[in-house]
Amino acid sequence: MDHTLLETFGNPAEQDYLINIELPEFTALCPITGNPDFATINVSYIPDKFCIELKSIKLFINSYRNDGVFHEAVTNEIFRILSEKLEPKFLRVIGDFSRRGNVKTVVTVKKEYKPFTNVDIPEYIPNEI
């Protein structure tokens, strides 16, 4: 994927805080059948020095549209790229894939964080399970 689509800006705050981003229009192709896969990608992070610019993450996520990728691989790839770009204190990426052929997949990848302050990191519970 083209990481250059991802833009960051300096974290405007000194205290720890949680940012949640929901990207409900993720699409890619099944690498076996070529059928489309649909998902909501949920990103939660506690920034250190950088925050992600929202339009850029939308364009980045949309760039997967014609790629043949497994659910597990793409969720881990998105996590890796965001982790490299942001270097956050905490990062969680969840690929909540739509049901297809009686199969529902939710893939969660996260980097743990032991906060110095009290930042509530809620568990994610997919709507369709």
Q: What are the residue ranges spanned by the domains of the chain?
A: 3-11+18-111
Name the CATH architecture for the domain at 3-11+18-111. Answer: 2-Layer Sandwich (3.30)
**What is the Cα 53 distance to its own chain's centre?**
13
Catalytic residue among 2, 37, 67, 120: 37
CA atoms lying within 13 Å on the CB side of residue 22: 5
Residue 106, pLDDT score: 96
Catalytic residue among 30, 48, 51, 67: 30
Residue 5, pLDDT score: 80
Residue 101, pLDDT score: 83
Residue 37 annotated as catalytic: yes
- Does 117 have pLDDT greater than 80? no
Check: CB of residue 63 under 8 Å from CB of residue 28.
no
Q: In this predicted model, what pLDDT tens digit does every residue of 79-115 receive, in sequence order?
A: 999 999 999 999 999 999 999 888 999 999 998 766 6
Describe the strand order of the beta sheet including 90-100 as a list of residue ranges.
19-29, 36-46, 90-100, 103-111
Q: What is the pTM of this model?
A: 0.86
